[in-house]
Amino acid sequence: MSLTSALAIYFIIWWVVLFAVLPIGVRTQEEHGEVVPGSVPSAPAHPRLLQKAIITTIVAGVVFAIFYWLKEYSGLTLDDFPI
């Protein structure tokens, strides 16, 4: 697998994991009790984006490592999956 392919696959995995991690632990402004004027009550009170980006990077790294091992060492190819 070339470096370009590996980076592209990691990038795709990272975005999928990000969308899975984003809603975890989110409390709305309405639940928190402090709605900022001019915003919707369902907006997140404290999104903690840096923490979620770090968690996403770690989880995506693990998923990519499993994918890489399956592709390079197990002999599994796309032809092994039924269409």
Task: Tell me the per-residue pLDDT of 56-69, one tens digit each, with 9 for 90 and over.
Answer: 999 999 999 999 99
Q: Structural domain of residue 40, as residue ranges? A: 3-80
What is the number of domains present in the chain? 1
- The CA distance from 83 to 70, in Å, is 19
The pLDDT of 16-34, averaged and rounded, is: 91
Instruction: Provide the whole-model pTM.
Output: 0.80
How many alpha carbons lie under 13 Å from residue 59 in its C-beta half-sphere?
Answer: 17
Residue 4 scores a pLDDT above 80:
yes
Residue type at 53?
A: A
